[in-house]
Structure 1
Amino acid sequence: MHGLGQLSTPYALENGGWASIFLLVGLGIMCAYTANIIGRCLDEEPSSKTYQDIGQQAFGSKGRLIASAFIYLEIFFALVSYTISLSDNIPLVFAGVRLHLPWLRLSTTQLLTVIAVLVALPSLWLRNLSSISFLSFAGILMSMVIFVTILCTAAFSNVGLGKHIPVLRLDKIPTVSGLYMFSYAGHIVFPNIYTVMKDPSSFTKVSVTSFSMVAVLYTGLAFVGASLFGPTVNSQVTLSMPPGLLVTKVALWATVLTPVTKYALEFAPFAIQLEHHLPATMGPRARIIIRGSIGSAGLLLILALALSVPYFQYVLSLTGSLVSVAISVIFPCAFYLKIRWDRLSRPVVVLNAAMIAVGFVLAVVGTASSAKLLVKSIQNGHVA
């Protein structure tokens, strides 16, 4: 979720206040820890290869079912958020372009978004994982490009630093926590990374290093973006960048291309599970057709939803609070306690129980706050 998370951190910091940066760092530390204990759960059962396997290992078939449901929810909401981001940024990339189809009641922005999604649609039919891994590299590259362009804007543009931001806005923290939490969402892929490592014992070092780098990147981007644009910062920092600058054009293109690289990657876990449930007698061509058709139908549904609910910050915050907190904090701690209960020291049990409690509080208050704001925005949009 790296690409989406970094777009929202300046907005989250400005809304939560300077002190909310401690929440961003604290959640990063919590997620680094839960990534580590996922590796320890996998140590207990060599046959476990996926996040769902750990759920089954801990709580049986119910654990697998709940883990699967939350994973698919996270994938679905993430794809909706990517599409909203695409819709928000694409009219700036194609400024001046006007499209109109008399038989379709869609605006130019909506038509551009539809075209971009249709361009990305064939990637869902890819079955070669090496092709999908190339898309992963492209997505990481786009994220780094966005980060560099924000730094260049701060260094070389006429936008001044030092905009007024309050120390803390407690009333905004529930929504901000969801945005921050979404930034660290990625735990569903850690079991796959662990199982393909030549030396799984180095997983702890790799996970801690990765989260440290991400936390530093997010913190730096949040400070720079919030300082640059202050109260005028948008929910996606690229929308606040000065128009006409080369770095702004590069950032907008990178933001538009990021969803295009993510659709196949986000859909891959569902596609793999789908293929496992198809009859063994089914031929390769039929498998590809079924997989591609279901993926295409799902993406078109996501497109329709994204165009109907174009409220990026609230959808992202709702996803972080409702789903990401569970997958990245609550479930790993619960799995770890259940699997290794008889070998854990009292302090470790207390630590994991406390993290579950903190995660539950963040999930409840964050979901309530972001859902309320989302519903209010939809109602206001309909009235307008």
Structure 2
Amino acid sequence: MKDKNVHQEGYSLVSNSAATVETTECGKKFRNIEGMGWIVTCLFIVGETAGGGLIAMPSAMVSAGLIGGIIIIFLGAIICAYTGHQLSENWTILQERWPEYRHHCRKPYPAMGLRALGPAFMTVVSACLNVTMFGTAVVFLLLAAKNLENFLHAYSDVELGFCYLVLIVAAFMWPFTMLKSPKDFWWAVIGAMITTSIAVSLIVYGALMDSKVCMEHVNYPDIHLSKFFMSFGTVMFAYGGHGAFPTIQHDMRRPYHFKRSVFLAFLIVFLMYLPVSLLGYVTYGDSLRDSVIPSLQNFYVQQAVNFLITLHVILALTIIFNPLNQELEEFLNVPQDFGIQRILSRSVMMLAVIFVAETVPNFGVLLDLVGGSTITLMALIFPIVFNLFLVAGRKKHNNMLAALDEAPPSLADVWRYTDKLKMTVNLLILAFAVVGGIAATLSALNVMASSELSRPCYAGLFYPTEHASSVQNASLSVVHLGKVNCCGPFRNISVLGSLDYCLDPSISLSTGSHG
């Protein structure tokens, strides 16, 4: 696409039915005639990022300690915002120099790997993206099903069973996965952000109510290196929504404004995570489980948070499934128009997620494993590496349209064309990501290897009695029949005045209950 000449002031637009190239004093900028504004895009990022990881952040702070927890939550926000900005620059470069990316693109993130490092890396990125999104979809499906089961237990005598609820949640989600791209389900993201915001307020309120009693008996564990790195995986899972960022950016009216959306979004997410983590830490200490929800001893607050997080997870699944489905459709060469082929391919993806969820109903450490491995690659390592090569290539070729036979820049080109301060910052982040990611992944694998896995849901076909008992125990890990996770070093301090409300009937009673 050739650009018309422009005057010194203002800009001119060269149009082709759906897209334009806007030339300003700062250079060529691709834009869509229709699309999302940067504020709406910011809400997309918040809705896609915050939620599932929110309830695990207080436990991550307990594992890392007060100072270590604050540092890692703050650094996570700063670094992930920075790498989100680099992803924004990467996609802007692709649209400026390769005109084919100015139209609908099913694989924007892998395309960055292709243009930065060559075809082999496109395959690597596709594999990491698929594992990340697939793992996240499984975790969120399990979380939604378990929270829904706990909600039913709390308010009724309905006994549907966790394994059946996985199918019910998936069936409810299935029609929404048919939507083409993020701009088609903006309502889901806005809803996800609203539910998370209300949940944050309720968690803070509930923890403040409990603090009057629980802080008198709070206990903090010793900090162990393995637990510290497990918290790294949790924080990366909570911040690392980068796999969907290029898909969201592509649907913006002005994709080069994505950096504004990223910085504002991560500020909002940080302001959500920090008070929840701090209050969870100082109020409950080592009595916290994987989730802060069961520690909230006001039953109505607890169940309201449970419901809101469940609703958020269901809405967020709409976004998470989209890159997965588009990857599969690209592989199968499915037409972009809605039809039977899209229905079949996306149904197959949903069935695959259901199968894994039913196979591993007790997901536990899966969150830390995904956060420490593929999410670290997608959120920290790939954005930086791709940016170094794409920016070097742009400078080397004077921002001209890429030739058909243009090869990726060499390491020498990267060193020559990269600002040395930027190079230093990027290398420090890469070192942090590699060390933290490897340590978190190994810690999660070690815990997974040493823990007993629950039987798959379909094992009940062969071991009905034993299986029913094991799945019931696994699925009631959040709230059980109106009980709460009592605070104190022995989890026997009840704000409600009786040990009958505590989740663990077998705990030591040496400290007594708080009446």
Contact 1:81 1:306 (C-alpha < 8 Å) held by counterparts: no
Give the structure 1 partner of residue 340 of structure 2. Answer: 286
Q: Within 5 A, what are the aligned runs for 1:95-110?
A: 95=153, 96-99=156-159, 108-110=161-163
Counterpart among 443, 466, 476 of residue 369 in structure 1: 443
1:29 matches 2:78: yes
1:263 matches 2:263: no
Q: Select between 167-176 and 337-346 the one with higher mean Cα deviation.
A: 167-176
Shift in Å, 1:236: 1.4
Give the structure 1 partner of residue 43 of structure 2. Answer: none
Give the structure 1 partner of residue 55 of structure 2. Answer: 7
Q: Within 5 A, what are the aligned runs for 1:347-362?
A: 347-362=421-436
Query: In 2, distance between residues paired with 1:336 and 1:130?
Result: 26
Q: Could you tell me which runs of 5 or more consecutive residues in structure 1 were left unpaired when the two chains were aligned.
A: 101-107
Give the structure 2 partner of residue 81 of structure 1. Answer: 139
Contact 1:24 1:180 (C-alpha < 8 Å) held by counterparts: yes
Q: Within 5 A, what are the aligned runs for 1:187-198?
A: 187-198=242-253
CA gap 1:167/1:136 in 2 versus in 1, 3 angstroms: same
Query: In 2, distance between residues paired with 1:45 and 1:82?
Result: 32
Give the structure 2 partner of residue 329 of structure 1. Answer: 380
Contact 2:163 2:358 (C-alpha < 8 Å) held by counterparts: no
1:235 matches 2:290: yes
CA gap 1:41/1:111 in 2 versus in 1, 3 angstroms: closer
Query: In 2, distance between residues paired with 1:151 and 1:3?
Result: 15
Shift in Å, 1:83: 2.5
CA gap 1:61/1:16 in 2 versus in 1, 3 angstroms: same
Give the structure 2 partner of residue 116 of structure 1. Answer: 169
Counterpart among 190, 210, 227 of residue 137 in structure 1: 190
Query: In 2, distance between residues paired with 1:362 and 1:352?
Result: 15
Q: Within 5 A, what are the aligned runs for 1:32-47?
A: 32-46=81-95, 47=98
CA gap 1:159/1:236 in 2 versus in 1, 3 angstroms: farther
Shift in Å, 1:23: 1.3
Deviation string 1:71-97 (CA, Å, 9 cap, x unpaired) is 111111111211332243233201153
Deviation string 1:290-322 (CA, Å, 9 cap, x unpaired) is 233213322321321341xx143x111101101
Query: In 2, distance between residues paired with 1:304 and 1:281?
Result: 31
Q: Which amino acid aligns with 2:244?
A: V
Q: Which amino acid aligns with 1:75?
A: M
Query: In 1, distance between residues paired with 2:388 and 2:118?
Result: 14
Query: In 1, distance between residues paired with 2:360 and 2:125?
Result: 25
Deviation string 1:115-135 (CA, Å, 9 cap, x unpaired) is 333333333344475553322
Q: Select between 271-280 and 341-350 the one with higher mean Cα deviation.
A: 271-280
Bigger Rg, which one: 2
By percentage of residues, which structure has more helix?
1
CA gap 1:260/1:4 in 2 versus in 1, 3 angstroms: same
Give the structure 2 partner of residue 298 of structure 1. Answer: 352
Query: In 2, distance between residues paired with 1:45 and 1:130?
Result: 21
Shift in Å, 1:171: 3.6
CA gap 1:63/1:272 in 2 versus in 1, 3 angstroms: same
Contact 1:18 1:168 (C-alpha < 8 Å) held by counterparts: no
Shift in Å, 1:175: 0.6
Query: In 2, distance between residues paired with 1:142 and 1:288?
Result: 30
Query: In 1, distance between residues paired with 2:222 and 2:77?
Result: 21
Q: Report the 3-state secondary structure (helix = DSSP H, G, I; strand = E; otherwise coil) of the residue aligned with 1:235.
A: coil
Q: How many pairs does the alignment contain? A: 373
Q: Report the 3-state secondary structure (helix = DSSP H, G, I; strand = E; otherwise coil) of the residue aligned with 1:3.
A: coil
Give the structure 1 partner of residue 267 of structure 2. Answer: 212
CA gap 1:345/1:224 in 2 versus in 1, 3 angstroms: same
Query: In 1, distance between residues paired with 2:147 and 2:86?
Result: 38
Give the structure 2 partner of residue 51 of structure 1. Answer: 109
Query: In 2, distance between residues paired with 1:293 and 1:274?
Result: 11
Contact 2:138 2:354 (C-alpha < 8 Å) held by counterparts: no
Contact 2:61 2:281 (C-alpha < 8 Å) held by counterparts: yes
CA gap 1:130/1:344 in 2 versus in 1, 3 angstroms: closer
Query: In 2, distance between residues paired with 1:364 and 1:271?
Result: 29
Shift in Å, 1:31: 1.1
Query: In 1, distance between residues paired with 2:194 and 2:151?
Result: 19
Instruction: Determine what percentage of the aligned residue pairs are the same residue.
Output: 19
CA gap 1:266/1:302 in 2 versus in 1, 3 angstroms: farther
Would you identify which runs of 4 or more consecutive aligned residues in structure 1 move more than 6 Å?
280-283, 380-384
Query: In 2, distance between residues paired with 1:128 and 1:380?
Result: 36
Q: Select between 258-267 and 1-10 the one with higher mean Cα deviation.
A: 258-267
Shift in Å, 1:182: 1.0
Shift in Å, 1:18: 0.6
Shift in Å, 1:194: 3.6
Contact 1:17 1:169 (C-alpha < 8 Å) held by counterparts: no
Q: Could you tell me which runs of 5 or more consecutive residues in structure 2 were left unpaired when the two chains were aligned.
A: 1-48, 393-413, 457-465, 471-515
Contact 1:8 1:236 (C-alpha < 8 Å) held by counterparts: yes
Query: In 1, distance between residues paired with 2:336 and 2:226?
Result: 55
Shift in Å, 1:3: 1.2
Contact 2:372 2:437 (C-alpha < 8 Å) held by counterparts: yes
Deviation string 1:97-125 (CA, Å, 9 cap, x unpaired) is 3537xxxxxxx333334333333333334
Shift in Å, 1:197: 3.9
